[in-house]
Amino acid sequence: MVDAVFALLAVVTVVSAILALEAKEVVYGAVALALSFVGVAGFFALLDAVFLAMFQLTVYVGAIAVLILFTVMLVRRERWLKTKEGVYKSVGIVASLAVAVGLGYLVYSSSITHVTTTVEQAPFTLIGALILSEYWAALVALSLVLASAVVGAVVLAKLERD
């Protein structure tokens, strides 16, 4: 039996993900993408990962989606409204359906299909301790990646037109 909230979230997330790619106007696509991120945040909340749900909302919806929206508005072209994909579209549908059938069958045939749990999720306060003890090297590497990404983005944005 599928929970109503779960079903609603699944429909919203998947439909808005498809809309993000298929909406004629890219601006609407960006808004649909933001809605899809909100749906995934809802899944995190359902999975008792409340902190991660808030993190997803602030970083993905608050930062990435807004950044994408700004860029879309800066680079939008009228002729994008009538682009044709032609043969690529059928190839893409076949390829992605193959991926879906393969992965779906893998999940369906595995022994984890009916796994469920009654154990309470550990509190999210452990995340900070875990990151700073076990994954401190990854945290340092990530901070360096973020710093260099910011520098790289600024350099690219300042690129002079030849």
Partner 1 sequence: MILEPLANYLFVSVVLFTVGVYGLVTKKNALRMLFAVEILINSANLNFVAFTRYLHPTSVTGQALAMFSISLAAAEAAVGLAIILAVFRLRRDVDVSEIKGLRG
Q: 25, 19, 26, 48: which is closest to 37 by C-alpha? A: 19
**Interaction between residue 54 and partner 1 (CB under 8 A):** no
Is the Cβ–Cβ distance between 41 and 13 less than 8 Å? no
Minimum distance from CB of 90 to partner 1 (Å)? 9
User: Exactly one of 10, 28, 35, 54 binds partner 1 (CB under 8 A); which one?
Assistant: 10
Number of residues that bind partner 1 (CB under 8 A): 86
- State both tokens at 145: 């990646």
Is the Cβ–Cβ distance between 17 and 36 less than 8 Å? yes
**Interaction between residue 74 and partner 1 (CB under 8 A):** yes
**Interaction between residue 20 and partner 1 (CB under 8 A):** yes
Cα(12)–Cα(31) distance, rounded to whole angstroms?
Answer: 13
**Interaction between residue 36 and partner 1 (CB under 8 A):** yes
**Interaction between residue 78 and partner 1 (CB under 8 A):** no
Is the Cβ–Cβ distance between 38 and 17 less than 8 Å? no
User: Exactly one of 4, 78, 82, 83 binds partner 1 (CB under 8 A); which one?
Assistant: 83
User: Exactly one of 24, 25, 67, 140 binds partner 1 (CB under 8 A); which one?
Assistant: 67
**Interaction between residue 6 and partner 1 (CB under 8 A):** yes
Mask for 131-150, x = binds partner 1 (CB under 8 A)? x---x--xx--x--xx--xx
Is the Cβ–Cβ distance between 121 and 48 less than 8 Å? yes
Mask for 88-127, x = binds partner 1 (CB under 8 A)? xx-xxx-xxx-xx--xx--xx---xxxxxx-xxxx-x-xx
Cα(157)–Cα(125) distance, rounded to whole angstroms?
Answer: 38
Coil vs helix vs strand at 6: helix
